[in-house]
Structure 1
Amino acid sequence: MDLKKLYSEYKELEQKDRPMVHSFFDRLPLSDKKFKFEIHNIINESIVHEDPAQLLFALNIAYRNGIDSSYTKFIAKLLTETWHDQHEDLVNTIYLENLNDDIFTDSLYIIATEPDPYRKYDDEMEPTLRKCIHALKTINSEKANAYIEKLKSIKNSNVDMVLSMYKSS
């Protein structure tokens, strides 16, 4: 599968038929990691050009294809970049894919404590903040745990709710 050709199709579809974009990636195989290095190249290109559409395309393929620790440096670079809006998904990826690398810790704390520009889509349930707590718990380093203690001290009900999930386990 030629990912550059696929990206051209994606851009064309995005302009003509936005509802179809959601099912566009369904034709890609799940979790075979065949395209990992091609996806890395597209993500890197999107970073160089600060291209949010290209990044979204690459991340959608990566999520479908399977993410592993080889994506760590890209996620670390992207977490606090403000030219895209993928912060919540990136934080969630750290948690869901068990990417427990301390390289993310400072950025997660920044995202958790600075709603603008990183959490502009959070409502009163603060899903990105909650995912930051889960990601910090996944990392479970000395620094991550220190940040969790700092976040506990702000007495935010969403922080408290997520942390209460870990007390029973």
Structure 2
Amino acid sequence: MDAAKRQLVWDLARGGVSDDVFIAQFGADPRTTPELVRSELEQSYAERSPDDLRAALLVAFRFGLSRQWAPLLCKLLEEDWHESHEDIAGALQNLRVPSTSDCLYRTALRKHDYLAYNDNEALAVKCIWALHDIGTSEAIEKLQLLSQSDLPVPVRERALKRLSELAAKRPGDEEPAYRRARDKRVRPD
């Protein structure tokens, strides 16, 4: 992503341009051409560009995430050259793709220097919420492992709380409001 496009994304995020102006100046509508966002994510990965990754994620959150991007998002989540791990974990929570359980589990256990101020707890908790929302037997197994890990006690307790919520869920229960709102950010493809 060149500097002008990156600036356009920042302007969009700050409310300096409308969606229509952004689309006209960006050259394509990310809602109708999701491969554009995937291409930007891939390019940020190939070039190891934290700024491009942040910009691509902003566009993805604004115009819609695709479940097809889950493997790429997992690859990005496990990289150390950027500081967008919490955003990516949030994207994976929105997508709820079962195959991402392993990378979310591994990420919950990892330490990043830039997150040392809170012992990486916020990232671990985002991964726990993503595993909770995925809710498959594999995701539940990962939550159980996290609840018994050497993570700080508050994080282990959050894993236990998410497990108890899943155990209490009954067939036919309405989806929580936060999940319905997040589903609006996911492309139907």
TM-score by length of 2: 0.68
Q: How does 1:99-110 map to 2 (within 5 A)?
A: 99-110=95-106
RMSD between aligned alpha carbons? Answer: 3.2
Cα drift, residue 12 of structure 1: 5.7
Residues 25-44 of structure 1 deviation map (CA, whole Å, 9 limit, x = unaligned): 75226x97234111111111
* Structure 2 gap ranges (5+): 21-28, 170-189
In structure 1, distance between residues paired with 2:137 and 2:7:
47
In structure 1, distance between residues paired with 2:67 and 2:7:
32
Which residue pairs with 2:14 in the alignment? 23
2:144 aligns with one of 141, 146, 149:
149
Task: Number of aligned residue pairs: give it.
Answer: 157
1:128 and 2:126 are equivalent in the alignment: no
* Structure 1 gap ranges (5+): none
Write the letter of the residue equivalent to 1:105. S
- The structure-2 alpha-carbon separation of the partners of 1:11 and 1:69, relative to structure 1 and needing over 3 Å to count, comes to closer
- The structure-2 alpha-carbon separation of the partners of 1:80 and 1:138, relative to structure 1 and needing over 3 Å to count, comes to same
Contact between 1:133 and 1:163, CA under 8 Å: does it hold in 2?
A: no
Q: What secondary structure sits across from 1:115 in the alignment? A: coil
In structure 2, distance between residues paired with 1:45 and 1:157:
37
In structure 2, distance between residues paired with 1:12 and 1:137:
36
Q: How does 1:10-159 map to 2 (within 5 A)?
A: 10-11=5-6, 22-23=13-14, 27-28=18-19, 33-95=31-93, 97=94, 99-116=95-112, 120=115, 123=118, 126-154=121-149, 156-159=153-156
Contact between 2:147 and 2:159, CA under 8 Å: does it hold in 1?
A: no
Which residue pairs with 1:161 in the alignment? 158
Residues 99-118 of structure 1 deviation map (CA, whole Å, 9 limit, x = unaligned): 2223322211111112235x
TM-score by length of 1: 0.75
Write the letter of the residue equivalent to 2:146. L
Contact between 2:131 and 2:143, CA under 8 Å: does it hold in 1?
A: yes
Percent sequence identity over aligned pairs: 21
Moved over 6 A (4+): none
